[in-house]
Each structure stands twice: as C-alpha cells, then as structure tokens.
Amino acid sequence: MKIGFIGLGIMGNFMALNLLKNDVMLNVYNRTKEKAKEHIKKGAIFLDSPKEVAKKSDIVMLMLSDSNAVSNIMDGNDGLLEGLGGEKIIINMSTIEPDYSAMLYKKIKIKSPSSMFLEAPVIGSKIPAKEGTLIILAAGDKNAYDLSTAYFNMMGKRVIYLGDIPKASYLKIINNQIMGITMGALAEGLSLSKKIGLDDNIVYDIVNSGAFANPMFQLKGKNIIDNNYEANFPYKHMQKDLDFAVKLSGEFKVFSPLTSAINNSYILGYDKFKDEDMCAIYKALNFE
C-alpha cells in the first residue's frame, strides 16, 4: 500500500519518519515544503497538493494543529476531498472537536461512499512521537482500522479501537483534561514553594519520590526548574484541548470546576506563551 501523510509539524515530522524507517512507500504534503527535506532524502515523494496525495495514496493520514487546519486541507480547490475516489482510507490523527470529526466522517462518505474514515488522535508529545511510543486511539470504520493497524504500530506502542466516531476524540479530550489539571497543580505547587523560599530541586525530588511520581512531573518539573520551555506539547494546543473539555462538560451537563479554572489560567497567558511548551503555565501564573 502507498501511504499519504499530510502535516509535518512537531508531531507529524517524526511520525512520518517512523513510517519511512519501516520502508513504507510514503507520499507527503506540507504547506511548507522545506519541512519535508529529510523525508524526501529518506525516500518520500512530495506532492503538490492534498488532492494529489489522495489520488496517489491508498491510506491518507492527517496530523494537523486544529479543525481549521484540517478543513483547509480537506476543502477547496486541490483539497483532499477532490482527490477521493475508490476505496481510500482517510485517517485524521489531529485532535479536533468531536462534532467536527463526526461531520468529517459524513462529508467523506457523501463525496466517496466506498472510502473509509478513522479518527485516530494520539496521546504523547514530541519525544514519544520521535521514539515511536505514542498511544493511538482509533474510532470509525472497523475495516479501515484492521488495514491500518500495522502502520499505527510503527508510530506507537499501543493502539486501541473504541468503536464509533467520536469516541476516540472524547477519550483524547478527557486524557488532556486530566493532564492539564495535573500540570496546573504542579505549576501552582512550584510557584508557592518558590515564594516561600524552598529549594526547587528538593521540592522536585520529593514530588517525584512519593505517590505523585509520574513521567510528566519528572519531565515538566525539570523543564520548569531549568527554565526550558521549548515546545514539546505547545501551550496553545493544551488550551485548545481544555476548551474542548469545558464545552464537552457543558454539553453533557458535568460539573467540572477544575477544568474551567485551569482553562482560564491558560487563557490568561495565551498571547504571551502560546508558542512555548504547555509547562509555561508556570510562567503564566507568575507573570506580572
């Protein structure tokens, strides 16, 4: 099979490279061709439009920043929808609104009834993407999932099928809801300890020695102490996902005060820190 991959940003770059490491025949497209240089060197074919990727690939994977970016790729002149025909598999691995994912499924079916669609958002940031240890959540056409699992396993350490769309989007949002709240707790604790005058390294060591120890605290806590805010999981994407969680809680009438509070905190620092890592919430809480 020929695989198409659209979106070579922080995550998609490494995901596509992992496919190439496994000798996959890969067509790629990115708005900025410069980002595809390494992929082309390793054997990928760069195509000039999403339409061409759809026409020349059996499976097309999207890894984009948000629903607007997905819409720009799908619709319009030379968009992916224009290239659909026959039994194509479209896999959106971007994190988008559940309602938009369901609408996307219908749009693809109307345009090409024989085509199949999966939503497959991923859990993990730049390092797991590079190491091929993402967790991939899939929902949609089961036949598409069965045909795509081998490729998912090249990019992730665990793949789970959840049934109908948008169950994978729901689970991704809930995962990031919990992560955002936990990140806020770490940032608040480190902010308080700094004001009190405690040694950051001792606080970091104690937090990671007890019941709270977890990989995110180990990585993000160290980055905060080292003043390292290079984007692994961008601040703006965490705020986007928390906003999804707030809206989802409202839709299902779930009282989620912690989600609303941490989302408002991310909004507060959005303009200044949006392109830094999500752990820059620490800077947002201490910004004067």
Phi first, then psi: what are they for 92, rounded to 5°?
-95, 115
**CA 63/CA 12 separation, integer angstroms:** 6
CA–CA distances in Å: residue 228 to residues 202, 219, 276, 277, 279: 18, 10, 9, 9, 9
Structure tokens at 267: 């909004």
Amino acid letter for position 195: K
How many C-beta atoms lie closer than 10 Å to residue 197's C-beta? 6
Catalytic residue among 172, 236, 240, 283: 172
Assess whether 37 carries a catalytic annotation.
no
**CA 269/CA 212 separation, integer angstroms:** 26
The H-or-E segment that residue 242 falls in is helix 235-251
| Contact between 244 and 173 (Cβ < 8 Å) | yes
With H, G, I as helix, E, B as strand and everything else as coil, classify residue 280: helix
Q: What is the 3-state secondary structure (H, E, C) of 91-129?
A: EECCCCCHHHHHHHHHHHHHHCCCCEEEECCEECCHHHH
The H-or-E segment that residue 157 falls in is strand 156-161
| Contact between 93 and 10 (Cβ < 8 Å) | no
Catalytic residues: 172
